Chain A
């Protein structure tokens, strides 16, 4: 019974490069959330997606960041032209439609991005 799968677990990029983080939700889950955890801080909401739709992107930076959840395949968080301040742990979570409003999310192990 696979949980939420994120890859890569660790990613190193130089300033100006692109970072792509992938997330496969738990089987049967059609809702995906991305959170970012900066050093010494809690998790901050970024975006909430359902298949082929962005439902809430109120936590996404206005520039360089984008997310998608296509009909087939994993959800992808894309960061263009990375800067050192993007270094963080990025967590993906999923939920089933029935638990969306209860706050019960299932998290992946996170992808740790380091920008040199």
Chain B
């Protein structure tokens, strides 16, 4: 079945540091890939997505590139802010499935 493996957290960075959160997947067919973010006390929000190989999703300074050859969708940001502190979830849908398959989430804390 489909699965998503995320870099284990928690991750603690200083403000303006470079962020990478690794995500790899296993799926049948050609999945669509997503990053969702959950800020403290809130529900999950879609951060970015990519629907085919080599697509790059980007939003709020975050980027992730759909790499079919390595089955990866790593999340990056060049300079994190305290307000980026949240839990980040990698996810996919594939085939005719309407539901998302999520990774276990990575807690990011950014210190001033």
Contact = CB atoms under 8 A, between A and B. Distances in A.
A50 B4 CA distance: 26
B49 A104 contact: yes
Tell me if B's interface is mostly helix, strand, loop or mixed: strand
Contacts of A100: 98
B29 interface: no
Given A42-B4, A42-B105, A43-B89, A105 B100 contact: yes
Interface string A16-27: 000000000000
B4 A45 contact: no
8 contacts: A6-B43, A45-B100, A56-B98, A56-B99, A104-B49, A106-B43, A106-B46, A107-B43
Interface of A: 3-4, 6, 33, 35, 40-45, 48, 55-56, 59, 91, 93, 100-110
